[in-house]
């Protein structure tokens, strides 16, 4: 048997080190007396495909928490690199004192099914209705059903295929933002047979 080299490891205390994660702009408000607001969320993920569901984790002290808890609606706006600065800024100031749409210049556009606006500049807008909220400790997990999706036409090719790579996507890892660039394979590439090379 081949000898494996020992890979040195350190033991760290348990923590939220899972990386990379997305950094999205979640919009909320816009109805019931709430003005539209934006909050940056890194703790989000798909949780079910049928029905399509995702989750976001929000600290109860956030202004957006109050809004989402009472309205039961939000939109996950997946940003591109162009919105990187706004993503960071919306994650360090509160909508209690700032109109984040006005200050960032981002465009609030109508959603298809919820009252809160989408961020027009973001290539992907995922409209969600909260199904359950779970108080986990420091964060509330909002489990939500995806009830509508809007995609920027510029990212759909002539064959109707979504080309998200053209959007210049953003990832977040250990406190830093990264531009997603190089594709290293397609789903299933590890088991796909290589096309035979033409004979010379």
Ligand X SMILES: Cc1cc2nc3c(=O)[nH]c(=O)nc-3n(C[C@H](O)[C@H](O)[C@H](O)COP(=O)(O)O)c2cc1C
Give the burial string for 71-83 (b: 16+ CB within 10 Å, else e): bbbbbbbbbbbeb
95 interacts with ligand X by CB under 6 A: yes
Does the protein bind ligand X through residue 39 (CB under 6 A)?
yes
Q: Is residue 37 a contact residue for ligand X (CB under 6 A)?
A: yes
Q: Which run of H or of E encompasses 176? A: strand 176-179
Asked if 77 is part of the footprint of ligand X (rule: CB under 6 A), the reply reads no
CA distance 139 to 18: 16
Stretch that binds ligand X, among 6-14, 33-41, 75-83, 180-188 (CB under 6 A): 33-41
**Position 124 contacts ligand X (CB under 6 A):** no
Give the Cβ contact number of residue 50 at 10 Å: 5
Kindly state the smallest distance separating residue 200's Cβ from ligand X, in Å. Answer: 52
How far, in Å, are 26, 117, 164 from residue 55 at the CA level? 11, 19, 21
Q: Quick one: which of 25, 27, 30, 42 contacts ligand X (CB under 6 A)?
A: 42
Which residue has tokens 């660039």?
A: 181
Judge whether 167 and 125 are in contact, CB under 8 Å: no
CB of 129 to ligand X, least distance (A): 19
Binding to ligand X by residue 40, rule CB under 6 A? yes
Q: What is the largest CA-CA distance in the chain?
A: 72
- The residue (of 62 and 127) whose beta carbon lies closer to ligand X is 62
Q: Which is nearer to ligand X, 58 or 122 (CB)?
A: 58
CA-to-CA distance for 171 and 21, rounded, in angstroms? 6
Segment near ligand X (CB under 6 A); pick from 93-101, 108-116, 120-128, 189-197: 93-101
Footprint (CB under 6 A) of ligand X, residues 49-68:
57-59, 62-64
Q: Which residues make up the interface to ligand X (CB under 6 A)?
A: 23, 37, 39-43, 57-59, 62-64, 88, 91-95, 172
């Amino acid at each position: 048997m081949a000898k494996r080299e020992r890979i040195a490891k350190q033991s760290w205390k348990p923590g939220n080190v899972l990386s990379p994660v997305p950094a999205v702009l979640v919009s909320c408000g816009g109805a019931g007396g709430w003005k539209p607001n934006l909050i940056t969320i890194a703790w989000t993920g798909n949780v079910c495909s049928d029905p399509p569901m995702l989750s976001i984790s929000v600290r109860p002290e956030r202004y957006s928490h109050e809004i989402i808890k009472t309205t039961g609606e939000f939109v996950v706006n997946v940003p591109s690199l162009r919105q990187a600065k706004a993503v960071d800024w919306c994650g360090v100031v509160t909508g209690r004192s700032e109109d984040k749409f006005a200050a960032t210049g981002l465009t609030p556009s109508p959603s298809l099914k919820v009252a809160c606006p989408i961020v027009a500049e973001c290539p992907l807008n995922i409209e969600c209705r909260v199904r359950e909220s779970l108080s986990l400790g420091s964060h509330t997990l909002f489990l939500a059903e995806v009830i509508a999706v809007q995609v920027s036409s510029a990212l759909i090719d002539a064959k109707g295929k979504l080309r998200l790579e053209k959007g210049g996507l953003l990832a977040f890892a250990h406190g830093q933002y990264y531009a997603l660039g190089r594709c290293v394979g397609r789903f299933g590439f590890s088991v796909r047979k290589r096309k035979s090379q033409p004979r010379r």
